[in-house]
Amino acid sequence: MANISNFRKNIAIDLGTASVLVYIRGKGVIINEPSVVAMDSYTGKILSVGKEAKKMLGRTPGNIRATRPMKDGVIADFNSTEKMLKYFIHKSIGKTMIRPNVVICVPSEITQVQRRAVMQASKLAGAYKTYLIEEPLAAAIGAGVDITDAGGNLVIDIGGGTTDVAVIALGGIIINKSLPIGGDECDTAITEYIKGKYNMIIGERTAEEIKINIASAYPREDDNLFEVKGRNLINGLPVHVFVTSTDISEAIRHPLDQIIRTVQEVLEKTPPELAADLYERGAVMTGGGCLVPGLDRKLESKIGIPVNIAEGPVTAVVRGTGKALSWIDKLDSSEMGEEGGRRRELEERERLRRSI
Ligand code: ADP
Ligand code: MG
């Protein structure tokens, strides 16, 4: 007899502070959009999600509010998160009556309450079953690290709102630290720098654009000029200036130093045997924030360990989360009675979380 679970889709979601990615096995990464929701503030109705909503950030008329529902890696606005998930789940699987199984990665340091909030939002958004896996494990799997290895591996994920540093061995997290600073803090630092140096106000998106175009962890020899448009702080009139990447490297030095400091702290606490492995194998970086040119070299020079950027650093976490999908197939086919199934589900979920 045909079993409904044969038709049930399994999808992996990276619910980030900056972007949401969705992966389906066999299809790859099918969604990569900003985690932004635009809402009518009078009616509470969602107007747009993702790319469309991001265009509205910072330029919305009075009645429209464009917000990021995730902050510091966790849900800051439950209602918008649920709506955003519903939109992306629907966009990924299209019209179907069969609800999908969903695997979502979450930061390793979040509380039980925050975990439950993610599970609940996913359920309300239309998931059949939801499984959570810890982000550093997902990042490592996606970066091609064999996480079941007894030797240690150092994984650094720099997202929009957070940086997660973890040492992984034998399928688990040995030590980790999460810093509420990531790529977005660099944008803020650029905004502040330009305000201080040129008396000029720029928007959030302009700051990110400057970063993506000319930021560098070191002052650059081939220093090129980049035109920046904004508003004069005193008289409010439109102005433009030219900034250099050396300016911007100065601007973002502080947040980058904080990230480097966090990696150093994790290394200081790593057990000696594992630390020796790390020196041999090097560290791997994932997340959009690691793409600032020269950050890998700067980090390397500060920690004395080779630092590599994962292949496809932005999609590594969701691809790693996607690999956990194979566990779900096994789980579905091994389910029997309702109670046994429930118990097994809990056990599997715990195993999934702990020991991929
Ligand atoms: P999250 O997991 O929090 O959703 P991402 O891994 O998508 O975050 O990373 C988003 C951050 O990466 C943002 O701060 C973004 O500005 C930054 N970023 C993306 N591309 C680049 C780039 N080419 N250079 C520098 N920063 C980048
Ligand atoms: Mg991320």
Tens digits of residue pLDDT in 83-123: 999 999 999 998 888 999 999 998 888 889 999 999 999 99
In eight-state DSSP terms, residue 99 is: P
Q: 289 CB under 6 A from ligand 1? A: yes
Tokens of 30: 């099918």
Percent of the chain at pLDDT above 70?
A: 90
Q: 159 CB under 6 A from ligand 1? A: yes
Element (H, E) at 97: none
Of 257, 266, 268, 264, nearest to 295 (Cα)?
Answer: 257
According to the model, what pLDDT value does residue 355 have?
Answer: 44
> Phi and psi (nearest 5°) for 69?
-75, -15
**Hey, is 167 helix, strand or coil?**
strand
DSSP 269-284: HS-HHHHHHHHHH-EE
Residue type, 263: V
- Confidence band, pLDDT 50/70/90 cuts, at residue 60: low
- Confidence band, pLDDT 50/70/90 cuts, at residue 223: confident
Mean per-residue pLDDT over the chain, rounded: 88
Q: 288 CB under 6 A from ligand 1? A: yes
According to the model, what pLDDT value does residue 164 have?
Answer: 94
- Confidence band, pLDDT 50/70/90 cuts, at residue 202: very high
* Choice from 15, 22, 162, 208 to test ligand 1 binding pocket (greatest atom count within 8 A of CB): 208
**Hey, is 182 helix, strand or coil?**
coil
Of 13, 9, 46, nearest to 29 (Cα)?
Answer: 13
Tokens of 193: 């720098």
Q: 292 CB under 6 A from ligand 1? A: yes
Domains of the chain: 2-138+318-355 (3.30.420.40), 145-309 (3.30.420.40)
Percent of the chain at pLDDT above 90?
A: 70
Tokens of 144: 């091609």
According to the model, what pLDDT value does residue 118 have?
Answer: 93
- Outline where DSSP puts E strands in 151-280: 153-158, 163-169, 172-179, 200-201, 225-232, 238-244
Residue 352 has pLDDT above 70, yes or no: no
- Confidence band, pLDDT 50/70/90 cuts, at residue 234: very high
Measured between alpha carbons, how far is 162 from 16 in angstroms, rounded to an integer? 9
Measured between alpha carbons, how far is 161 from 180 in angstroms, rounded to an integer? 6
pLDDT higher at 147 or 182: 182
* Choice from 212, 285, 315, 319 to test ligand 1 binding pocket (greatest atom count within 8 A of CB): 212
Q: 124 CB under 6 A from ligand 1? A: no
Q: Which ligand places an atom closest to the C-alpha of 320?
A: 2
Residue 351 has pLDDT above 80, yes or no: no
Residue 292 has pLDDT above 90, yes or no: yes
Residue 271 has pLDDT above 80, yes or no: yes
| 3-class SS shares of the chain: helix, strand, coil, % to 5 | 45, 25, 30
Find tokens 């947040």 and name the residue: 255
- How do residues 321-348 score in pLDDT, each as one tens digit? 999 777 655 544 333 334 444 544 554 5
According to the model, what pLDDT value does residue 220 have?
Answer: 81
Find tokens 């997660």 and name the residue: 164
**Single pTM value for the model:** 0.89
Q: Is the dihedral of CA 72, 74, 78, 80 positive or negative?
A: positive
Measured between alpha carbons, how far is 290 from 256 in angstroms, rounded to an integer? 10
Measured between alpha carbons, how far is 240 from 345 in angstroms, rounded to an integer? 58
According to the model, what pLDDT value does residue 149 have?
Answer: 86
- End-to-end CA distance of the chain: give it in Å, rounded: 32
> Phi and psi (nearest 5°) for 21?
-120, 145
Give mean pLDDT, residues 151-164: 94
What's the gap in Å between 286 CA and the centre of ligand 1?
10
Of 123, 142, 126, 105, nearest to 15 (Cα)?
Answer: 105
Measured between alpha carbons, how far is 55 from 60 in angstroms, rounded to an integer? 9
According to the model, what pLDDT value does residue 71 have?
Answer: 87
Measured between alpha carbons, how far is 78 from 206 in angstroms, rounded to an integer? 28
Tokens of 186: 């660099």
In eight-state DSSP terms, residue 160 is: S
